[in-house]
Amino acid sequence: MQMAAWQLMACETVVKTVNEFEIVTHELRQVGSSVRVHDASSGLRSGQEVWATSAGDEPIQIAWEWTEIQSDIVALFDPMNILCNVSLIDGQGHALARSRRMLHLNNLVHRLDWQGALEMRAAKCDTRSGA
């Protein structure tokens, strides 16, 4: 079942320390992806990615938009706009500032092989269409 990025907004907030978050994110898997042609003249694409896992009975979900900056080279569309249902806290139980939270989310997205997942999806579409 494909999950859309906007559905993440309806998810319960999960509170994790930075260390707990790092541990559970190793299990993240792609659960949703959308691709659209961003510019008809150039054929450049854009889209959204949604990845998820569970920490016990708590679903952990993260989503972001991406854009193709030239053929087959994709990047985060807006690195400061990554959606995640996790509220990160430090070791003393204080919520991280938005900038520190975004730093952790960006680092996580850069560790995931989401570009590879996009390439595999594009290759599957090409074989189905006969290209």
- Between residues 18 and 56, which one has the greater pLDDT? 18
| pLDDT at residue 23, rounded to an integer | 93
| pLDDT at residue 57, rounded to an integer | 87
Count other C-beta atoms under 10 Å from residue 22's C-beta.
14
> How far is the C-alpha of 86 from the C-alpha of 4, rounded, in Å?
17
pLDDT of 20 over the 50 cut = yes
Residue 103 lies in a domain: yes
| pLDDT at residue 113, rounded to an integer | 92
Residue 130 lies in a domain: no
Q: How many domains does the chain have?
A: 1
Residue 131 lies in a domain: no
> How far is the C-alpha of 36 from the C-alpha of 123, rounded, in Å?
15
* Per-residue confidence band for 72, with pLDDT thresholds at 50, 70 and 90: confident
Q: What's 61's domain CATH number? A: 3.10.450.610
Which amino acid appears at position 124 of this protein? K
Q: Is 115 exposed, middle or buried (0-12, 13-18, 19+ CB in 10 A)?
A: middle
Residue 112 lies in a domain: yes
Interval 30-64: pLDDT, tens: 998 888 887 778 889 999 999 999 888 899 999 99
Kindly report the pTM of this predicted structure: 0.84
The boundaries of the domain holding residue 80 are 5-125
> How far is the C-alpha of 30 from the C-alpha of 52, rounded, in Å?
7
In the chain, the DSSP E strands lie at 14-17, 29-39, 44-55, 58-70, 73-76, 83-84, 86-89
H or E, element range at 2: none
Q: Which residues, listed in sequence order, are joined to residue 89 by a DSSP beta bridge?
A: 17, 95
Residue 26 lies in a domain: yes
Count other C-beta atoms under 10 Å from residue 35's C-beta.
16
